[in-house]
Amino acid sequence: MNSIILFLFNYIHLLHEYIYHLLLFIMRTNSFRQWRHEELHSPTYQRFKTDELPLIKTYFKHDYRFLINYYFYKYNDKITPIKRRSDRTIDHNITCPRCSAPHDYLYNNNGDKGQFLCKVCHERFNANSYSTKPIRLACPHCNHTLEKIKSKKFFHIHKCRNLKCSYYLENKKKVPKDASHSKISKYKLHYIYREFTIDFFKVDLDSLPKNASSLRFRKQSAHIMGLCLTYHVNLKLSLRETRQAMKEIHNVNISHTMIANYAKTAAAVIKPFTDRIEMNPSSELTADETYIKVKGIKGYVWFIADAVKRTILGYTISDNRSVGPCILAMRDAFRKYSAFPQNLTFVADGYSAYPLAAQQFAINNPEHSFEVTQVIGLTNDDEVSTNFRPFKQIIERLNRTFKRSYKLTNGFHNFQDAYYGVSLWVVYYNFLRPHRHANYKTLIAIPELEKADTMPAKWQLLIYYGQKTSLELQEVKT
């Protein structure tokens, strides 16, 4: 009986390895085509839709005398003053705001409503309200000037209020005829554009902490620091539990505050080294954000993972769920590539921050343009969700794995401590933790760590190579 159970166990383990290698082969050799989510089957998600970029129109000033001479020279068209057939006259003080043409060249365009048309440059304007901004944003569907309706923390919201816009009329047809006025307001009908006020592509991703503790040990040693990191990060013990373990197992008296300083310093020193390790990521990425508590207030952790190798490529911590932190996490992930992949598949949920961030990448650098495939809801109600649900499940499992280590901390004291806590956990997850889907090996092998037989020694080597990388970076900057 025992031999049969042992045989079946080995057979199941063998089938698991075959399935794992077949999945790797399929995901590496087949670049999945991204389907654009139609968002028509679920109107609830229409407000998350990201519209295309607006038209940018520049306003040039002209001289009406130059234009008259140019038209006569180029087209033999002589522009003469207007011969009015009625008694209506135009005030002599009114001139064209674009070419400064006097009232003799201005039509009373719409009767007594106050709009004028310049015969020379064909500019329409009102006598008391017209704009001469050097740049204006226009709707790509109806060419109507966008109106700024709201200002957020990182961007301004511009809206097309033209009720005859084709985009508005098309969306209005999708609204149920029996919908009340309160329900209609929940639908996204007008074209909307978000103009960002902060350039997230110039934010430094490698800034070092201002209050990191020194690595010159007085009472303790580097081995004690490695032991503290092993208990705190690898074994998921809290700071006070780590202090108790050091006292009861190793007879070492150390405060939980010193252990916290060790963790913060190690995270700041190791990160420059691990960020520059060649990960050779695939072109299949998945992203999601999850919640944390920082001093009792809700914060967010943004993860971007490789769907094939399961490695974490980019991450960041934020106090808001806007597009700015999403861009920073994407920048952290994309710098792991030696060359930006042309067939990138980026899978996320229905939150609008991801397509907005992709839009900003296309504006900043057209070579880094990509589309976001959004898996919406918990059930496979459309073709996109059916085909890309495994990607979403990968990032959700990653979030659960992170939460198991995070819950023991009972939250963080500030966002800087949260960032360094997550940084240490990412280092452990990518380079030190054995994974079942990787045949109980680490996701990324570091040759320098093969010299160490114990986990505290591996932490010491990571700190050592992190210091060397920091010194090399400082020499390059000087």
Tens digits of residue pLDDT in 271-298: 888 988 899 999 999 999 998 988 888 8
**Domain co-membership, 336 together with 414:** yes
- Percent above pLDDT 90 for the chain: 23
Find residue 412's DSSP bridge partners: 294
**Domain co-membership, 65 together with 91:** yes
**Domain co-membership, 355 together with 451:** yes
State how far the Cα of 343 lies from the Cα of 352, in Å rounded to an integer.
Answer: 22
User: Under a CB-based contact definition with an 8 Å cutoff, are residues 274 and 425 in contact?
Assistant: no
Helix (H, G, I), strand (E, B) or coil at 192: strand
Parallel/antiparallel/unpaired status of strands 115-118 and 106-108: antiparallel
**Torsion region of 76: left, alpha or beta (phi above 0 gives left; psi -120 to 50 gives alpha):** left
Find residue 288's DSSP bridge partners: 303
**Domain co-membership, 150 together with 290:** no
State how far the Cα of 214 lies from the Cα of 156, in Å rounded to an integer.
Answer: 43
> Binning pLDDT at 50, 70 and 90, where does residue 223 land?
confident
**Domain co-membership, 346 together with 418:** yes
Cβ count near 331 (within 10 Å)? 20
Claim: this prediction has a pTM higher than 0.75 = no
**Domain co-membership, 48 together with 65:** no
Domain containing residue 314: CATH number:
3.30.420.10
32 has pLDDT over 50: no
User: Under a CB-based contact definition with an 8 Å cutoff, are residues 340 and 368 in contact?
Assistant: yes
The better pLDDT of the pair 40, 439 is held by 439
Q: Which of 149, 167, 196 is the last residue of a domain?
A: 196
**Residue 241 falls inside a structural domain:** no
Backbone angles phi, psi at 145, to 5 degrees: -65, 135
Q: Which of 81, 96, 126 is the last residue of a domain?
A: 126
Burial of 14 (0-12, 13-18, 19+ CB in 10 A): exposed
Mean of pLDDT values over 410-438: 88
> Binning pLDDT at 50, 70 and 90, where does residue 39 land?
very low
**Residue 229 falls inside a structural domain:** no
**Residue 367 falls inside a structural domain:** yes
User: Under a CB-based contact definition with an 8 Å cutoff, are residues 263 and 233 in contact?
Assistant: yes
**Residue 239 falls inside a structural domain:** no
Cα 68 from chain centre: 51
Q: Which of 68, 101, 126 is the last residue of a domain?
A: 126
**Residue 201 falls inside a structural domain:** no
State how far the Cα of 376 lies from the Cα of 37, in Å rounded to an integer.
Answer: 9
Q: Which domain holds residue 113?
A: 60-126
State how far the Cα of 142 lies from the Cα of 167, in Å rounded to an integer.
Answer: 8
Q: What is the pLDDT of residue 20?
A: 75
Q: How many domains does the chain have?
A: 3
**Residue 29 falls inside a structural domain:** no
**Domain co-membership, 170 together with 84:** no
State how far the Cα of 195 lies from the Cα of 137, in Å rounded to an integer.
Answer: 10
**Residue 167 falls inside a structural domain:** yes
Helix (H, G, I), strand (E, B) or coil at 69: helix
DSSP3 helix / strand / coil % (the chain, rounded to 5): 45, 15, 40
**Domain co-membership, 286 together with 154:** no
**Domain co-membership, 122 together with 154:** no
**Residue 309 falls inside a structural domain:** yes
Helix (H, G, I), strand (E, B) or coil at 106: strand
**Domain co-membership, 283 together with 352:** yes
**Domain co-membership, 349 together with 330:** yes
Q: 89-98: list long-range contacts, CB under 8 Å, 24+ apart.
A: 90/116, 91/127, 94/127, 96/64, 96/120, 96/121, 96/123, 96/125, 97/123, 97/125, 97/130, 97/132, 98/59, 98/60, 98/61, 98/62, 98/123, 98/125, 98/132
Residue 19 to residues 166, 319, 437, Cα–Cα distance (Å) = 50, 40, 10
Parallel/antiparallel/unpaired status of strands 192-196 and 155-159: antiparallel
**Domain co-membership, 174 together with 309:** no
